[in-house]
Amino acid sequence: MLELIFAVLLIAAFATLFIKSGRIAAIISLIASAMPLIAVMDWANDFGIKAFSFGVENSMDFSIAGITMHLSITSFAWFFAVMVFSLLPPIFLFSYSFFEKNNGFFPFMLFLITAVFGILLASDFLTLFFFWELMAASSFILVYISRDKKAIMSYLAFSVLSAVLILVGIALLYSQSGTLIFSDIVLNADKVTVSAIILMVAGFAVKSALMPLHAWAPFVYSKADEPFVAFLSGGLSKVGYYGMFFMLFALPGAKILHQYFNSGVATYLLAVIGAISAFIGTLLAFMEDDLRKLLAYSSIAQLGYIAVGFGIGSSLAMAGALFQAFNHAFFKSVLFLAAGAVAYRTGKWKISELGGVGYKMPFTFMAALFAIFALAAIPITSGFAAKWLLYEAAVSNKYIFITPIMLIAGVGAFLYSFRILYGVFLGENRHDDIKEAPLPMIAGMFLLVLPLIIFLIFPGYMLDMMHSALVDAGIGTISHTNYVIRTGTASYNTLAVVIGMMVVMIPAFLIYVLRKQKKVDFKDNFLAGEPYEFYGYISMHAANNFYKPIEDVIMPYLRKGAISFYTALYNAMGRVSDASRKIYTGLSQDYTIYIIIFFFIIVGWLIW
């Protein structure tokens, strides 16, 4: 059965290579992407969740050319698999309308899914690395479709960096423990050194766009096709966190680091890096004018929270981190898809050129609104429960540096959320001639919004889902019922919030019974009938340079960022290579001298 799933995915991938129509390819991909989801649902029974059983076995050995690949599902891989694979059918549903022609998105997306399925199932490092490379290659081609040089080069450079770090890490692990199979390494965990763990974690952190390894994200997220970016930000970044989770808690790397440094300084550093990612990402996000770049920086910020949870490592923090990972997978996919839907209808990406789209595309707006509420952690979506767990964890550990930074990043999220809401969906109506997005797009987005609402009322279901993952990783879970989460210092009752809200909404609504009103066009209300062409298009838009005052204060401090560091590194490497090229003078005397110098070095070394 497991072989069948891999076979279906690969056959579908090869079949879609030869299909020109985007519609047919989307349908094939949709069916194929449901296969891993069926397996994931089936395995829910293994981890204490009641679900349908289809009889999918949960492990498989696969031999090719004398090398055996071990595949089996673990509880933590299963949790990540749930979030990654439930994203896919809605994304393909969206793509049905998004792609008229198959430009290569579908086949390589299916290769990518195969690779992710393999990564999550891998139970030895060779298999992991094989699928990791397949993932890197297929996602690189998906980036390559964008034909944007900066995106392609930065993605390639960082993918290679990630692969090298992981490969060296695996080599070290093999030399230290003498095996590549996960369960054997866990048994020999005392032989594993910190360098291997740090290398592996850094390699995985590249995929999760953790600062300072995030430099590729803004370029790639802003140029590649939206459905792919939705999966890249929502799904693939979580695969990076799966690797980190595995290295830090299943191996358990956190304990090894702890013993080596004789304190929690290394994991604390990870938490600080996460908090700074959240903070700087937020600041950069609300000054960005390109909608996709804004979402990219917001991704970096939201993913930073997960790293904070991993760094703190208590049961509270881990529950918060996994919850945040789950939420982020869904709301960020919705936002990228909504951005794609808006661009599909208007063809524009700049916030200062958009505006008033929400009046013409109300359903897209509704989906985006819910996603934004989740992103800003407003307590009417499940976004809040995750952040709440993380804040609680940080405060109960008395982290006086991380907690305020996380909280202020949370406030900053309101700023860029409003930027999206006002600049794109509300405000000046500049698009009278557009229609609502096609039905499959809307259906895809609403399917992704659904979990955000379900886990608002029942965060306990989410904690049940991650229960066996946390127990297997030796972290332990927190006490909860279906709708109450209790920590040592406080409790959070979602039902009280929802019911309280309904109760106070009744009088508020009674005060405010709506009557028949005249709908006023916005052109009447502030332009007083004058055409805006008269004033110039962009400069008149209130969303242009929206946070200018605060930008003037903050930007001088942020100018020397990581991206300029990498640019300087790139230039320096160019100069070094240029300098080294000068030894090829083309004169035979020079080459003779090189040979003589080389000869003397060898002789000198032998005498030594």
Which residues contact other proteins by CB under 8 A? 356, 358-359, 376-380, 384, 387-388, 391-392, 395-396, 398, 400, 403-404, 407-408, 410-412, 414-415, 417-418, 421-422, 426-429, 484, 489-493, 496-497, 500-501, 503-505, 507-509, 511-512, 514-515, 517-520, 522, 525-526, 542-543, 546-547, 549-550, 552-553
Which residue intervals of 99-236 are DSSP H helices? 105-121, 125-144, 149-177, 182-187, 194-207, 217-223, 226-231
Smallest separation, CB 134 to other proteins (Å): 41
Radius of gyration for the alpha carbons in the chain, expressed in angstroms and rounded: 26
Q: Is 415 or 457 the residue whose CB approaches other proteins more closely?
A: 415
For residues 207 and 387, which CB has a smaller minimum distance to other proteins in the complex? 387
Considering the complex, state which of residue 253 and residue 356 has its C-beta at the smaller distance from other proteins: 356
The CA distance from 145 to 152, in Å, is 9
Q: List the beta bridge partners of residue 132.
A: none
CB of 567 to other proteins, least distance (A): 28
CB 346 within 8 A of CB 247: no
CB of 217 to other proteins, least distance (A): 23
Residue type, 131: F
Identity of residue 206? V
Instruction: For residue 534, give the DSSP letter.
Output: G
Q: Specify the residue, 132 or 373, whose C-beta has the smaller distance to other proteins.
A: 373
User: CB of 320 within 8 A of CB of 389?
Assistant: yes
Q: Which is nearer to other proteins, 204 or 388 (CB)?
A: 388
6 backbone dihedrals φ, ψ, rounded to 5°: -60, -40
Q: In whole angstroms, how close is the CB of 199 to other proteins at the nearest point?
A: 34
User: What is the distance between the alpha carbons of residues 18 and 140, in angstroms, rounded to a whole number?
Assistant: 20
Beta carbon nearer to other proteins, 160 or 496: 496
Enclosing H/E stretch for 277: helix 265-286
Helix or strand holding residue 71 (H, E): strand 67-72
> 511 vs 587, which CB is nearer to other proteins?
511
Shortest distance in whole angstroms from residue 349 CB to other proteins:
20
**Pairing verdict, β 491-493 and 67-72:** unpaired
The helix-helix angle for 439-457 and 75-98 (nearest 10°) equals: 150
Q: Name the minimum Å distance from CB 518 to other proteins.
A: 5
With 0-12 / 13-18 / 19 or more C-beta atoms within 10 angstroms meaning exposed / middle / buried, residue 359 is middle
Q: Are 13 and 107 in contact (CB under 8 A)?
A: yes
Distance in Å, CB of 77 to other proteins, minimum:
31
Separation of first and last alpha carbons in the chain: 63
For 276, the token pair is: 């700074």
CB of 438 to other proteins, least distance (A): 22
What is the closest distance, in whole angstroms, from the C-beta atom of residue 39 to other proteins in the complex?
A: 37
Q: Enter the DSSP assignment of 352.
A: G
Nearest CB to other proteins, comparing residues 76 and 425:
425
Select 358 or 444, whichever has its Cβ closest to other proteins. Answer: 358
- Of 176 and 429, which has the nearer Cβ to other proteins? 429
Shortest separation between residue 544's beta carbon and other proteins, angstroms: 10
Q: Which of 159, 177, 271 is nearest to 215 (CA)?
A: 159
Q: Work out how close the CB of 365 gets to other proteins at its nearest, in angstroms, rounded to a whole number.
A: 8
- Strand duo 491-493 + 484-486: pairing: antiparallel
Smaller CB separation from other proteins, 94 or 492? 492
**Alpha helix (H) residue ranges in 122-148:** 125-144
